[in-house]
Amino acid sequence: MGYSIREFANFRGISEQRARELARKGLIRAQKQAGTWTITFDESTPTEIPLRRPLSAQSQEDLLRYINTLSFDHVAGHRRSRLAQRVRELEHSSEKARTLRDYFRNSPLPAGKGAAATIRAAMLYQDTHVEGTLNLNPRVALTSTRSVASKLRNARILAGLSVTDAAASAGLRLEEYCQLERVGHIGDNNLKAIRALAAVGVRPAKITVESGSRPDLQTQLQRSQAKGSLPGGFSAITESNARIAASLMSANMSAITDAMASSSQATIKAALDTASRPAVQAALTSIQKVNNTADTLKTIQKKEDLTNG
């Protein structure tokens, strides 16, 4: 059965201008005769009553850019807070396509790929396509300090937290949290970055926080041993206890290697405690079996000397 532009617009809850645009672009089944559009559509489709007011043209553009970049860097002030509120509403909506239709109602269809294609799919009631392509909170691998800083900053804004609240939630000093949002690391320690990200609801698939100058654990061990600052048995102990090695990756290697090389178990415990990480504490259980690390290292060194001799 054929319907006029006005009838179709009333049925779909859209403007007549939008209905004409859909017909002109061939996005709905329509024919034009003597300057008049006749539209054919499934009458069984239920009428959808809008639940929200449509966004302004500026707010629509802000949302499009966010969906494409997952970043609030292009907005500030009240525009940023309003955008964050709408993204939260969209993220938690059980009908994301319908939410987008409400946001973009009575507006021209956006051109282009990415977010624009998702909006077009929503306006054409291709809800399954929208649900399959719209992901506002993907798990990502944070492999640079810049990516950590950006993710932390944007996740905090999306959560609606101030830097003070986020720092308190992460158990960090305000200046520490601000440094993480600015440069993505604090010294050589990954732990504080992980705590800050967790405080704003981020669970990255992978995180590698490097200051740009610190070598990895294996390189540090090799250099220390070459300089004679570590006993020969250190590498053997590390290799035999992978849990300790993994835990040390996030700790202050300078303090821990010094403790391993020259001090007792108590000093090692103090160095490990500075990391305050459950994995480090679990590794400490293994270390506690050794009454005196220095004596153990010396014993291993003697055995190696006898074997080589």
CA dist 240 and 101 (Å) reads 59
Residue 186, both tokens: 């604090």
DSSP letters, 198-217, are: HHTT---SEE----SS---H
User: How many structural domains does the chain have?
Assistant: 4
For residue 278, the enclosing domain spans: 217-308
64 falls in which pLDDT band (50, 70, 90)? very high
Q: Which has the higher per-residue pLDDT, 270 or 7?
A: 7
Name 250's bridge partners. Answer: none
Distances (CA, A) of 17 to 14, 20, 23, 90, 191: 8, 5, 10, 26, 55
Instruction: Select from 154, 177, 207 the last residue of a domain.
Output: 207
The model's pLDDT over 109-152, given as tens digits with 9 standing for 90+, comes to 888 899 999 999 998 888 999 998 999 888 888 888 889 999 99
pLDDT for 67-125, tens place per residue?
999 999 999 999 999 999 999 999 999 999 999 999 998 788 888 899 999 999 998 88
Q: Is residue 46 part of a domain?
A: no
Average pLDDT over residues 158-164: 94
pLDDT recorded at residue 309: 53
- Write down the pLDDT at residue 285: 54
Nearest CA to 244 out of 277, 295, 220, 280 is that of 280
Please report, for residues 3, 79, 98, 165, 247, the alpha-carbon distance to residue 276 in angstroms, rounded to integers and kept in the order given.
69, 39, 46, 21, 11
Quick check: 45 and 54 in contact, CB under 8 A?
no
Say how many C-beta atoms besides its own lie within 10 A of residue 280's C-beta: 24
pLDDT of residue 294: 46
User: Which among 25, 18, 107 is positioned nearest to 64, based on CA atoms?
Assistant: 107
Partners of 33 in the β-ladder: 36
Q: What is the pLDDT of residue 292?
A: 44
Report the run of H or E that residue 38 belongs to, with start and end.
strand 36-40
Same domain, 237 and 196: no
Q: What is the DSSP secondary structure assignment for residue 186, as one 8-state letter?
A: B
For the record, the structure tokens of 113 come out as 């790929």
Residues 278 and 238 in one domain: yes
| Among 100, 133, 166, residue at a domain's last position | 133
pLDDT average, residue stretch 49-55: 81
* pLDDT value of residue 302: 60
Give the pLDDT confidence score for residue 260 in this predicted structure.
52
Could you tell me if 59 and 86 are in contact, meaning their C-beta atoms sit under 8 angstroms apart?
yes
Task: Report if residue 51 sits inside a domain.
Answer: no
CA distance 114 to 121: 11
Asked if residue 249 has pLDDT above 90, the reply is no
In a domain, 22, yes or no: yes
Do 239 and 203 lie in one domain? The reply is no
Structure tokens belonging to residue 185: 């690391």
> What span, in angstroms and rounded, lies between the C-alpha atoms of 189 and 253?
9
- The least confident of 15-19, 193-197, 207-211 is 207-211
What was the pLDDT predicted at 29? Answer: 76
Q: How does pLDDT run across 9-49, given as a tens digit for each residue?
A: 877 777 888 888 888 877 677 888 888 888 876 554 445 66
> Can you give the pLDDT at residue 218?
45
3-state secondary structure at position 40? strand
Whose CA is closest to 118, among 135, 130, 106, 105? Answer: 130
Is the predicted pLDDT of residue 168 greater than 90, yes or no?
A: yes
In the block, tokens 């990255």 appear at: 204
Do the Cβ atoms of 106 and 14 come closer than 8 Å? Answer: yes
User: Looking at per-residue confidence, does 297 or 158 come out higher?
Assistant: 158
CATH number for the domain spanning 173: value is 1.10.260.40
Range with the poorest average pLDDT among 154-158, 216-220, 298-302: 216-220
Alpha carbons 299 and 242: distance in angstroms, whole number: 21
DSSP 189: B
Give the model's pLDDT for residue 49. 64
Do residues 267 and 253 lie in contact, with contact meaning Cβ atoms separated by under 8 Å? no
**26 in any annotated domain:** yes
The pLDDT value recorded for residue 235 is 42
**165: buried, middle or exposed (CB in 10 Å: 19+, 13-18, 0-12)?**
middle
